[in-house]
């Protein structure tokens, strides 16, 4: 498994855990990293993802609500919701990873951590986000 996949999985675990934690973000990250026996490079990418999700939380959740077809955020499983937050954040607020790779990574993580229906659910929403908000900018950037 690639280092970025490991970082994305750690970011998912962090986001899941943070839903139960009232400490400030930096304290949570420091505590999480202390308990993680992982390479610094992986931890750094995880940190970048997590900080971006928190920094753009409102915008990400607006997009998530818009493209989730009548699914209230509270009704989604915490795992699916956080995979989607990571995926949307990476699609919209980073340019380092090609959109198709971001979507595929999210689907693979959903297969590992989600329910039987999670991969299709995640793929459908992230594909809509890509097609309706990013496709024109992605094709012109080539």
- Structure token pair of residue 109: 């993580």
Question: Could you say which DSSP state residue 71 is in?
Answer: -
Give the CB-side neighbour count of residue 77, counting CA atoms within 13 A.
Answer: 14
Residue ranges of domains in the chain: 3-140
Give the list of residues 6+ apart from residue 102 with CB closer than 8 angstroms, or none. Answer: 87, 90, 91, 126
pLDDT by residue for the chain (142 residues), tens only, comes to 789 999 999 999 999 988 888 788 888 888 888 887 788 888 899 999 999 999 999 999 999 999 998 788 888 999 999 999 999 999 999 888 999 999 999 999 999 999 999 999 999 999 999 998 876 555 444 3
Domain 3-140, second-level architecture: Orthogonal Bundle (1.10)
């Amino acid at each position: 498994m690639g280092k970025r996949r490991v970082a994305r999985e750690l970011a998912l675990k962090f986001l899941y855990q943070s839903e139960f934690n009232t400490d400030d973000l930096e304290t949570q990250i420091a505590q999480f990293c202390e308990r993680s026996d992982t390479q610094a490079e992986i931890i750094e990418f995880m940190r970048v993802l997590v900080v971006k999700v928190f920094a753009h939380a409102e915008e990400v959740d607006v997009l998530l609500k818009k493209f989730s077809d009548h699914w209230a955020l509270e009704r989604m499983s915490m795992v699916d919701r956080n995979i989607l937050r990571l995926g949307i954040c990476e699609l919209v607020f980073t340019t380092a990873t090609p959109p198709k790779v971001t979507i595929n990574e999210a689907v693979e993580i959903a297969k590992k951590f989600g329910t039987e229906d999670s991969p299709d659910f995640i793929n459908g929403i992230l594909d809509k986000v890509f097609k309706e908000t990013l496709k024109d900018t992605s094709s012109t950037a080539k």
